[in-house]
Amino acid sequence: MPFIRTHVSKSTSQQQRQAIVEGIHQALVSSIGMPQDELFNLVSSYEAEDFFYSRSFNGVTRSDKLVVIDISLRRGRSDAMKRDLYAHIAENLAVNAGVAKADVFIFMHENDYSDWSTGNGKFAMALVQQVAAG
């Protein structure tokens, strides 16, 4: 289950925020096989004067509308799957949310089942073990 934190410029409309969330979610579903009902995306906004970043890092020309996507998920995806995911996110946001591909900045944190509790204070590993035993 990925947990996403998406950071957008404060000027980003609610409609565009929704399109960004949907674009990220659909890329996760199609690229890494995430179940459709695993949607957890916390969107926050930043003021231009509070976010300092290079507008030319790695030869990419960025605007003042950078969208930062921080993905936490269980480890195990190949580099090829991650490349596909990143490409699909950028494409979805460009087509459906009007975000320039150069303004899509993604980073990922991988962890294990033991690093999650997804509800009721239960250790996620226990839920996985229950499924395997059933």
Do 55 and 62 touch, CB atoms closer than 8 A? yes
Q: What pLDDT, on the 0 to 100 scale, is given for residue 120?
A: 81
Do 19 and 56 touch, CB atoms closer than 8 A? no
Homologous superfamily (CATH) for 3-133: Macrophage Migration Inhibitory Factor (3.30.429.10)
Q: What pLDDT, on the 0 to 100 scale, is given for residue 124?
A: 73
Do 1 and 75 touch, CB atoms closer than 8 A? no
Q: What is the pTM of this model?
A: 0.89
Tell me how long the chain is.
134
Q: Among 82, 93, 105, which residue's Cα sits nearest to residue 24? A: 93
| pLDDT grade for 131, boundaries at 50, 70 and 90 | low
Structure tokens at 72: 């936490």
What residue type is assigned to position 133 of the chain? A
At 5-51, the pLDDT tens digits run: 999 999 999 999 999 999 999 999 999 999 999 999 999 999 999 99
Domain spans of the chain, in order of start: 3-133
